[in-house]
Amino acid sequence: MRSKNCRGKQVVFFSASLTFAISLCMGGGVASLGVCHGQVADQRQVDQPQFERTWELGPTGSRASLRGVCAVDDNVIWACGSGATVLRSRDRGSSWEECGPAGLGALEFRSVHAFDHEHALIASAGSPAIIMRTTDGGVSWREVFRHEAAEAFLNSLRFSDAQYGVAVGDPIDGRLLVLETTNGGALWRPIPGRSLPESRVGEAGFAASNSCVLLSEFGGAWIGTGGTDAAGSRVYYRVGAQEAWSHTEVPIPSGPTQGVFSLAMGAGRLLAVGGDYVQGASSPVTVAVSDDLGRNWRPSSKPPSEFRSSVVHLSASSDAGLGSGFWVATGPSGSDWSVDGDVWHSFSAIGFHALDVGHRDVFAVGSEGRFAILSSAH
């Protein structure tokens, strides 16, 4: 099916700064995390290099609950959410165009992946489960996948390169719905169910931030779930393209409103982030850490105090201000940072649903059309 709708609505950008500082103190070749006050564990006096960043808030012209964001670079950004909303900016969020498919207002597009300012894909959360593709910046959209089953709820759509991508939905007939494409999203095929482990009764993914799926350049894939009442959530994984799928338990409690919501990789480490999304609910474990490609997980030693729906890593090559890079996590109640993904510090009471990294900046979207850039204060 094809539809045309690109309305080109322009808005003016403004900013409100919320500043935090990351201090990394080095002593004896070991990084000491947190605020160092001029000393490290061996009590030697050292310099305190700081890297300041600020949330720059700006309007999108939309009131939609935005759940997916994809930064092609630090200028081209796509976002999607409720009411079949799809937004695109080509100037780092200074102005936005509404360019979603027409006539699908009942659907929520919670997943988006873009290759440039013209080529992008979106996936719906709910029934029917559909994936749509544009090659002209949203002027027209073509449906490239549809599943009518009530259980077919797509949670995330991710790519490892320009050709290979995966979309994941809730279990059908006892196993996760996992779709693959090898031609940039033009054609999608389900992975045979028998190649995936059986799911637990009630198990499901969460379409909160388009990040419960993680792909690596070397063929690895990880899928986070929750949904069923259990002491721990699950991560399904394969460490290479030719490896068999397996699963492991993650020490984030699982339930109808809790589990793993987001996965990210950086500096040789995997993080799983989540908790209970119900406002005010207790989330004793919101971050889990793996140092062996997701085979084994442990709780973060100092996690964010409340549910977090998205996590990203800004690498050292992206961030010239902090040599080791750093992590950012967010959720509706606030945002946090970490040098190593293990010890976390709150830096803002303003929260979002989803994050993505461009070349140097972190981009965030949330409720009521909220958008922000985490940029250098310098």
| Band of pLDDT at residue 377, cut at 50, 70 and 90 | low
Asked if residue 222 lies in contact with residue 269, where contact means CB atoms within 8 angstroms, the answer is no
Mean pLDDT of 214-236: 97
Cis peptide before 190 (omega within 30 of 0): no
pTM beyond 0.95: the answer is: no
* Domains, in order of start, for the chain: 2-376 (2.130.10.10)
pLDDT value of residue 17 = 38
Q: In a 3-state reduction of DSSP, which class is residue 128?
A: coil
pLDDT in tens, 11-45: 333 333 333 333 333 333 333 333 333 333 333 33
Average pLDDT, the chain: 86
Residues 57-84, buried b or exposed e (16+ Cβ, 10 A)?
bbbbbbebbbbbbbbbebbbbbbbbbeb
133 contact partners, CB below 8 Å, separation of at least 6: 119, 120, 121, 141, 142, 144, 185, 186
State the distance between the two ends of the chain, measured CA to CA, in whole angstroms.
Answer: 47
What is the secondary structure of 57-72 as a DSSP string? Answer: EE--S--S-EEEEEES
Angle, vertex CA 104, rays to CA 100 and CA 109, nearest 5: 60
Q: How far apart are CA 8 and CA 356, in angstroms?
A: 23
